[in-house]
Amino acid sequence: MTAHVNPQEKAAFIQEEIRAFVRNSPLNRMPDADDDFIFDEPLVQFADGNDSIFNDYKKIIDPSHLTPREALAAAYEKSPGDLPAQLSVVSWILPITGKTRESNRPQKRVPSRLWVYTRWYGEKLNEALRAHVVEVITERGYLATAPMLQPYFKRMDNYAGPLSNWSERHIAYAAGLGTFSLSDGFITERGIAHRCGSVVTDMPLPISPRTAQTPYSNCLFYVNNECRECIPRCPAGAITEQGHDKIRCRDYQHDEIGYIRQRYGVEVAGCGLCQTGVRCEFKNPAKKLKV
């Protein structure tokens, strides 16, 4: 791809690369006889790497949360001011398949085998996808990095519980892919049951509009004080009308039901009961309510 190709064509190219990778990668298959897909076709959008929302995240999340400029500069051991003026962020959503969502719906205490596999093997696919997107962009002469794959990526804790210095959902919010919710999950047009990822680059890409009125516009609880279906879904009592208690959620997954890691032979198993059997599971339930 040459420099004269316009940003729209570059965007179409990146979107198709991501879709094709997810369609064709053997990593997007459940590790059992059925050979089912782990994820459906991804949603892909783009944020402006200089969007002021990334500076806001230093207050909303943590001062250590990186801006795209800081993330790209650190990957290339440059100072942020030495990077090109224009930066873009590619953000994608990997919707979890109907079969896996259905298998998790009747669960009351622990996630289904397919959900556990999605957390463990699906994230391997997501990691490979991040590396693939970096590769196809750098092959074309641009800078690119996937912050979650960098040695500087870190998870930490504050008074509210676990967080990180590169929150994939906040990146997806910046790229207009959806909003947060009462359960804390990120509700997209394909719902809340998904995993997500991102890459920062200096490739010029068209900015996707952020149409949500607030960071919670896709959740019925905040739109019209309805729903609350995620509250009784949580076996840890981590979701209330006050929101999501991350410490309770983490402790439930790590300690109380930690034994299922052994059952399914994985290092991380997840939970996600609050993302299935709820009306935001596979769609944006507030869409029709928007004026």
**Residues in contact with ligand B12 by the rule CB under 6 A:** 60-61, 119, 126, 148, 155, 161-164, 166-170, 173, 180, 183-186, 192, 194-197, 215, 244, 246, 249-250, 270-272, 274-275
Shortest distance, position 271 Cβ to ligand SF4, whole Å: 3
227 interacts with, out of ligand B12, ligand SF4, none, CB within 5 to 8 A per kind = ligand SF4
- Give the CA diameter of the chain: 56
182 interacts with, out of ligand B12, ligand SF4, none, CB within 5 to 8 A per kind = ligand SF4
- The CA distance from 150 to 165, in Å, is 11
194 interacts with, out of ligand SF4, ligand B12, none, CB within 5 to 8 A per kind = ligand B12
- The CA distance from 49 to 54, in Å, is 8
Q: Report which DSSP code applies to 40.
A: -
- The CA distance from 118 to 151, in Å, is 24
276 interacts with, out of ligand SF4, ligand B12, none, CB within 5 to 8 A per kind = none
Binding mask 200-239 for ligand SF4 (x = CB under 6 A): -------------------xxx-----xxxx--xx-x-xx
- The CA distance from 126 to 268, in Å, is 15
Radius of gyration (Cα) for the chain, nearest Å?
19
Shortest distance, position 143 Cβ to ligand B12, whole Å: 21
Rule CB under 6 A: is residue 272 a binding residue for ligand SF4?
yes
220 interacts with, out of ligand B12, ligand SF4, none, CB within 5 to 8 A per kind = ligand SF4
195 interacts with, out of ligand B12, ligand SF4, none, CB within 5 to 8 A per kind = ligand B12
Rule CB under 6 A: is residue 40 a binding residue for ligand SF4?
no
Rule CB under 6 A: is residue 284 a binding residue for ligand SF4?
no
285 interacts with, out of ligand B12, ligand SF4, none, CB within 5 to 8 A per kind = ligand SF4
Q: Using a CB cutoff of 8 Å and minimum separation of 24, what contacts does 17-26 make?
A: 17/132, 17/133, 17/136, 18/42, 18/44, 18/90, 18/92, 18/129, 18/133, 19/44, 21/128, 21/129, 21/132, 22/94, 22/125, 22/129, 25/125, 25/128, 25/129
User: Between residue 172 and residue 201, which ones bind ligand SF4 under the rule CB under 6 A?
Assistant: 181-183
The smaller minimum CB distance to ligand B12, of residues 13 and 121, is found at: 121
Q: Which helix (H) or strand (E) holds 158?
A: strand 155-158
- The CA distance from 32 to 75, in Å, is 37
**Of 26, 10, 85, 38, residue with least CA distance to 270:** 38
Shortest distance, position 283 Cβ to ligand SF4, whole Å: 10
Residues lying near ligand SF4 in the complex (CB under 6 A) are found at: 181-183, 219-221, 227-230, 233-234, 236, 238-239, 244, 249, 252, 271-274, 278-280, 285
